Amino acid sequence: MSSTGQRAAPAEQAAGPAPVRVTRSRRSSLWAGIGAIVVVVILGYLPYIVLSGTTDLLVNVFILMTMASMWNLLAGYAGLVSVGQQAFIGLGAYFVLILANHGTNPFVALPAAAAGCGVAGLLVWRMVSRLRSGYFAITMWVIASICELIIVRFPSLGGGTGEPLPGFASLDPTLLTAYTYWVSLAVTVIVIASIYLILRSPLGLVLTAVRDDETGARSIGARVSPAQRFVFLVAAAGCGAAGALLIISQLNVAPAAAFSVQWSAEMIFVTIIGGIGTIEGPILGTIIFFVLQQTLASYGTWYFIILGLLAMVVAIWAPRGLWGLIADRLHIRLFPVGYWLRPAGQAPRPAGLAAGDAGNAGPG
Amino acid sequence: MSWVNAIIQGILIGGLYALFACGLSLLFGVMKVINLAHGDLAVVAGYVALGVIAVTHVPAVWSFVLVVPIFAGLGYIMQRTLLQAALNRSVLTTLLVTFGLSVVIENGLLQFTSANSHALDIGSLVSDSFSIGSQITIAYLLLVIFVVAVGVLLGLQYFLSSSRQGRLIRAVADDREAAQLSGADYRHVFGIAAAIAFGTVALAGLAFGMYSSFDPTIGTNQLLLFAFEAVVIGGLGSLWGTLAGGILLGVVQQIGAQINAADQILAGQLIFLVILVVMPQGLTGRRAAA
């Protein structure tokens, strides 16, 4: 994690008779990096130039992007398909509420809530680590339901009807909107950057191997279980941060909404449509989600039905998602987490030489 | 005596849970896949029954004569098309596709019907009951549902152990490749298993619709989780285990409700978690395969 982009520099490596150069990034990656920084700077400047309606919408975009990126790390790389991540979304929101009730500024409570969800994730992992595929998925769902039923029992947290978030009474509403926006942007950037760094670390190699073939990864001696535990904790903390953003942006929380399986549905659809097992996928999927939602806003839940059908079609017939289709056509990777091999002394050839990053299967 | 009553009610409701669970258990046993749309299918069966009753004017109690075969056919077709296509990809893809199906069904029902709850109107049968002593009251409907559930499980057990199709299903479940080498078309066998699973879940959905009311969201909020919990508590690969699991779940829920009315569902889910951690092979099951 400490070595950031330094290893992007070409590394000489002798492999077999023909000398081969191994690089991680190419010129397109450099431009993508610059582009990402420009986009973040523009997004950061946005509250000064657009109305609060736009930034409020973007806050929701950032929240879903965070959740989807976390689910992608969990399911796409670690092979842990969960339909119960709403447990940590709800817990994150309620951690913020509890801290705010005791006088903490909700923005300060956010990292604490994320850390709290990481600890909760450790406890949950002890129970579910032995479970696989469908068992794991639905047990996580039961755990989310248990969290909700326990929270409902506390009248001090608003019981079943929920409670407004205190702590912002003295803050100017315009300023609050802008702060919420910046914090959401920061959380999303931190989450995506963390995923990028995790996948570039040695752990990322294990995770990429698990993504392509879990049994194969185990058989060559990859330490799969610790990697899965680490990813589970990161995903719990990330979803906790998303839940904290949720309560801060909506200024109230209700158990039925915070622990709703709808969150899982959204993050799963977005990830599958965008492209599971790539960093770019959930980002692209989130954009598609909100374009559909805004276009079909007057037709009730139709946008969600269409998304669900689209996700089913993509999962079966285009398992690498839309980003997979784009990346295969144009040979681009915005986040270089794999390795490029080429004979020494030649210019990098774009076609199909990406190793480690060229898994052709989505989950499993 | 109220405790004895709670336990008896729990046993009877447990029969209904077992009826929900046996299709889930069968599909998991045969294809190693958990159908996340299982609960929603039961709800759809309730709505289909409402439609069938409105069109044909059959009494609600007899709606299963039409609805169960419809669902069995639907199950076969779904398995041969959508689910098989997903299964060809991977088990995880099937999980995602059935989850997508569940969400699409639920939102589709919300869009086309409403969030209002419905019930299958069976007249006075819903409240007819007899008493044992002063404290214990048993509703005829629940008793009938329990008997039907046990009958379905008996029939399924007999079918799987004695009939040619049943032996084929068990052969494919044990070793798909070997069964295929012996000439079994595993896709057709999967289709038969799905037909049985869809048929039983439709029956369970109708029973639930007569016993209680249903709305579009109850399939995922309760029915799927109850069915899964019954399967896990009972242990995989045993229909009698599923019945035992359903009964234990029902009894624990009723006891939880005795302690605090709001804790009914929580009690059931906590016993599931305890069983999962303490004895992952379930009450009767073989060594856990998952």
Out of B36, B100, B266, the one facing A146 most closely (by C-beta) is B266
Question: Could you tell me if residue A81 is inside a domain?
Answer: yes
Query: For residue B67, what are the contacts with CB-CB under 8 A and spacing of at least 6?
Result: B45, B48, B49, B52, B202, B206
Which helix H or strand E contains A355, and what residues bound it?
Answer: strand A354-355
Confidence at A340, pLDDT banded by 50, 70, 90: low
- In this prediction, what percent of chain B has a pLDDT beyond 90? 49
Q: What's chain A's average pLDDT?
A: 85
Is A361 part of any domain? no
The answer to whether residue A351 is domain-embedded is: no
Tokens of A301: 């839940």
Query: What would the mean pLDDT of B237-250 be, rounded to a whole number?
Result: 89
The DSSP symbol for B118 reads: B
Q: What is the pLDDT of residue A25?
A: 66
Query: How many residues are recorded in chain B?
Result: 290
Q: Could you list the residue range(s) of the whole structural domain that residue A41 is in? A: 27-335
The reported pLDDT for the residue numbered B60 is 83
Within a domain: A11: no
Which pLDDT score is estimated for B285?
A: 59
Residue type, A52: S
Closest partner residue to B33 (CB to CB) among A79, A134, A269 is: A134
pLDDT at residue B39 tops 80: yes
In a domain, residue A347? The reply is no
The answer to the question of residue A16 being in a domain is: no
* Residue B216 CB-half CA count within 13 A: 15
- The confidence band for A110, taking pLDDT boundaries of 50, 70 and 90, is very high
Chain B residue numbers with beta carbons less than 8 Å from the beta carbon of A265 are 99, 103
Mean pLDDT of chain B: 88
pLDDT tens per residue across span A222-259: 888 999 999 999 999 999 999 999 999 999 999 999 99
Q: Using CA atoms, how far apart are residues B13 and B256, in angstroms rounded to an integer?
A: 14
Give the residue-averaged pLDDT of A152-157.
Answer: 88
Tokens 């982009």: give the residue: A5
Helical (H) or strand (E) element with A13: strand A11-13
Judging contacts by C-beta atoms under 8 Å, the chain B residues touching residue A308 are 100-101, 103-104, 107
Q: Using N-to-C axis directions, what is the helix angle for B186-211 and B140-162, rounded to 10°?
A: 170
> Alpha-carbon distance A254 to A152, whole Å?
9
State the Cα angle at A78 between A76 and A83, rounded to 5°.
Answer: 65
What is the rounded distance in angstroms from the CA atom of residue A361 to the CA atom of residue B209?
42
Residue predicted with more confidence, A55 or B284: A55
In the block, tokens 């903390």 appear at A237
**Which member of B99, B110, B272 has the closest CB to residue A142?**
B272
Per-residue pLDDT tens over the stretch A164-176: 998 888 888 888 9
Residue A321: predicted pLDDT: 92
| Inter-chain contacts counted by CB atoms under 8 A, chains A and B | 129
Instruction: Report how far residue B249's alpha carbon sits from residue B17's, in angstroms, rounded to the nearest whole number.
Output: 8
Residue A6 lies in a domain: no
Predicted local distance difference test score (pLDDT) of residue A158:
85
8 Å CB contact of B108 and A83: no
- The pLDDT score that the predictor gives to residue A8 is 42
pLDDT tens for B50-100 read 999 999 888 888 888 899 999 999 999 999 999 999 998 888 899 999 999
For A98-129, the DSSP string reads HHHHTT--HHHHHHHHHHHHHHHHHHHHHHHT
pLDDT at residue A23 in the model:
73
What is the reported pLDDT for B139? 87
Whether A209 is covered by a domain: the verdict is yes
Q: What pLDDT shows up at residue B119?
A: 83
Domain count, chain A: 1
B115 vs B215, more confident:
B215
Q: Which residues of A touch B114 (CB under 8 A)?
A: none
ipTM for this model: 0.90
- Summarised one tens digit per residue, pLDDT across range B251-288 is 999 999 988 888 889 999 999 999 988 887 777 755 44
Torsions phi, psi for A171 (to 5 deg): -90, 140
| Contact: A268, B96; criterion CB under 8 Å | yes
Read off φ and ψ for residue B129, nearest 5 degrees.
Answer: -160, 170
pLDDT category at A17 given cuts 50, 70, 90 is low
Provide the pLDDT for residue A249: 94
Position A10 confidence tier, pLDDT thresholds 50, 70, 90? very low
Domain parsing of chain B, residue ranges: 2-217
Q: Which residues of B touch A (CB under 8 A)?
A: 28, 32-34, 36, 82, 85-86, 89-93, 95-97, 99-101, 103-104, 107-108, 110-111, 220, 224-225, 228-229, 232, 262-263, 265-266, 269-270, 272-273, 276-277, 280, 290
Tell me chain B's radius of gyration from C-alpha atoms: 19
**Closest chain A C-alpha to B144 CA, distance in angstroms:** 30
Residues from chain B that touch A305, judged by Cβ atoms under 8 A, are 104, 107-108, 111
- Which sign, positive or negative, has the C-alpha torsion B241, B246, B249, B251? negative
